[in-house]
Amino acid sequence: MNLNRRSVFRVVVASVVLVFAQSLGVVLIARFHLMQHLLAPGAGSLVAVFVALAFLLLRILVIVLLPGLLAASALVTVGRTRRPIPGS
Amino acid sequence: MVTHWAAFLTTGWLRRGVAVVLFIAVTAIVPRWWCAREGERWFAGDRALSLGLSRTVADNIKSGVTTADFTSNSSLFRHEWQFGTYQMGALGLLQVCHLYPERSPELMPAVDQAIDRLLSHEVRDFDGKQWGQDPLDAIEGDRGHTAYLGYLNLALAVHRRCVANSRFANLNDRISAALVRRFQANPARAIETYPGESYPVDIAAGLGSLLLWTGANDEQRACIASALEHYRTDWRDPRTGLLYQAIDTRDGKPLDAARASGTALAAYFLSFGGRDVARRLYESLRTYTAGSVLGFGYVSEYPSGAKPGKGDIDSGPLCFGISPSASGFMLGTARIMRDRDTFVALSRSLYLVGTPARRGDRYEYAMGGPLGNSIMLAMLTADREVP
């Protein structure tokens, strides 16, 4: 049971961290105008393009993939929780 | 029943299989729903979103946009984008003033400021450098400066429709007559952006302004109609109906492929009075370039079945052939044509990649920068009811 609780806790914490990082990223990216380098990169755009691409991948992970990952991992965890104790 | 399901889920490989199916199902449903929420609101003409983005664009205009705000290495493109930020910003704000007339006192000063900036030496100089002559000094001639005069005149024409006794009415009349004179002087109607360079999308901006011009005489009206006819016939690829990106100044023959970015923006410009032509272009875009993955819409720069190209500054950087410019421009025409499904699909991608951000009562797209936000305001508030 402890193992299950721990794995659920890990998944939830990881999700919260990713969502928080994405939200913070939106603020910083908007503040420092980094993403427009993706549309029209110039000579000094290398770092900005790298940061913007990393942020975009994080955003896609959080919005597109995370809900499904959470649901699937919740199902796996629930299944483990319901596993009958051997010999009971 | 519950016990049955519990037993089923405790079987390891079955549990993993169901988890994979659940992952796919949730991924197909939740992001599609989440990212469509604002698109539905934009399509319905949401007041808070429209005013939020309008305030961001108005702030950009009031604080002044310089070439240092853009990242391209090309001085010409940076100056064109500075010009485009004011022009699209003025159009977008005028559309919002038309939708919400009670907000005009707040937004109209920024419109006037944008047009004043369009008329300034600093902003119009990029065109003058290409021609070796200032575009406003060249109004009385019969050649060139099409992009500057055309884009500017569209903003002036819409301003005139929104503001009684517009202070730009006289200039609008002069530029309209100048554009017609250029069409009359070129039998192919392929009037020039820069010396020897003609682009249907730039010509469409001028033509859109002329379709709103009420001061034309019969001869001028016939000339405008004959120029518009090229957007139904020979400036379109016969297979797809998309517009050629560049044409020969002398005979109007294609010099570049038929592409989505030019077609989508031209459809928006021509919707100001040329709804039938705009609809034809839109149908071509929808049939040959639009698609979606998991409900996230996109527009390819090159039509299906055509040889893919590398794109350029007009299309933006292509990723799997998808054009950021064309995808953004098509939002405007999709809204004008009341194509809800296409609009919402494209708006999902805009939400995901464009990265909307809020600051108080301001709303912006982090990816856009000043030009992108001006363009998105114009596209997301484009309306069937022409101002």
How far, in Å, CA of B376 to CA of B353, rounded? 13
Q: How many residues in total does chain B contain? A: 387
Indicate which of A75, A77, A78, A80 best probes the interface with B, i.e. most B CBs within 10 Å of its own CB.
Answer: A75
How far, in Å, CA of B79 to CA of B126, rounded? 6
**A73 to B19: CB separation less than 8 angstroms, yes or no:** yes
How far, in Å, CA of B369 to CA of B70, rounded? 8
pLDDT grade for A88, boundaries at 50, 70 and 90: very low
How far, in Å, CA of A38 to CA of A24, rounded? 19
Counting one residue from A and one from B, how many pairs have CB atoms under 8 Å apart?
106
User: In the prediction, which pLDDT does B200 show?
Assistant: 97
CA-CA-CA-CA torsion sign (B31, B32, B34, B38) = positive
Q: How far is CA B59 from the centre of its chain?
A: 20
Distance from CA of B31 to the nearest CA of A (A): 5
User: In the prediction, which pLDDT does A86 show?
Assistant: 58
Q: How many CA atoms lie within 13 A of B187 on its CB side?
A: 2
Instruction: Give the Å distances, CA to CA, from B21 to A78, A81, B32, B184.
Output: 16, 20, 17, 64
Can you give the pLDDT of all 387 residues of chain B as single tens digits? 555 655 655 667 787 888 899 999 999 999 999 999 999 999 999 999 999 999 999 999 999 998 888 888 888 999 999 999 999 999 999 999 999 999 999 999 999 999 999 999 999 999 999 999 999 999 988 888 998 999 999 999 999 999 989 999 999 999 999 999 999 999 999 999 999 999 999 999 999 999 999 888 999 999 999 999 999 999 999 999 999 999 999 999 999 999 999 999 999 999 998 899 999 999 999 999 999 999 999 999 999 888 888 888 888 889 899 999 999 999 999 999 999 999 999 999 999 999 999 888 999 998 888 999 999 999 999 987 777
Q: Could you tell me if residue B296 is left (phi over 0), alpha (psi between -120 and 50 degrees) or otherwise beta?
A: beta
User: In the prediction, which pLDDT does B368 show?
Assistant: 82
Residues 6+ apart with CB under 8 A from B316: A39, A40, B261, B323, B324, B325
Coil, strand, or helix at residue B135? Answer: coil
Among candidate residues B317, B16, B8, the one with its CA nearest the CA of residue A72: B16
List the 7-46 stretch of A: residues with Cβ below 8 A of B: 26-27, 29-30, 33-45
- What share of chain A in percent tops pLDDT 70? 83
User: In the prediction, which pLDDT does B6 show?
Assistant: 57
In chain B, residues with a C-beta closer than 8 Å to the C-beta of A30 are: 355, 357, 359, 364, 366
Tokens of B100: 């919400």
Secondary structure in 3-state letters for B211-262:
HCCCCCCHHHHHHHHHHHHCCCCCCECCCCCCEECCECCCCCCECCCECHHH
User: In the prediction, which pLDDT does B160 show?
Assistant: 95
- Torsion angle defined by CA atoms of residues B251, B314, B356 and B288, in that order, rounded to the nearest 10 degrees: 60
Write down the residue that tokens 């494209």 correspond to: B346
Contact B58, B88 (CB under 8 A): no
**B26 to A72: CB separation less than 8 angstroms, yes or no:** yes
Contacting A with CB below 8 Å, chain B residues are 6, 9-10, 15-16, 18-20, 22-27, 30-31, 34-35, 70-73, 77, 81, 294, 313, 316-317, 324, 352-353, 355, 357, 359, 364, 366-369, 372
Q: How many helices (H) and strands (E) does chain B have?
A: 15, 4
CA-CA-CA-CA torsion sign (B225, B227, B228, B231) = positive
How far, in Å, CA of B48 to CA of B214, rounded? 34
Strand partners for B291: B298
Write down the residue that tokens 């930020």 correspond to: B85
Write down the residue that tokens 């296409």 correspond to: B342
Structure pTM?
A: 0.91
Which is it for strands B356-359 and B296-299: parallel, antiparallel or unpaired?
A: unpaired
**A63 to B77: CB separation less than 8 angstroms, yes or no:** no
Coil, strand, or helix at residue B292? Answer: strand
User: In the prediction, which pLDDT does B8 show?
Assistant: 59
For residue B301, what is the DSSP state? S
DSSP one-letter string for B10-50: HSHHHHHHHHHHHHHHHHHHHHHHHHHHHHHHHHTT-HHHH
Contact B58, B93 (CB under 8 A): yes
How far, in Å, CA of B136 to CA of B64, rounded? 22
Helix (H) or strand (E) holding B121: helix B121-131
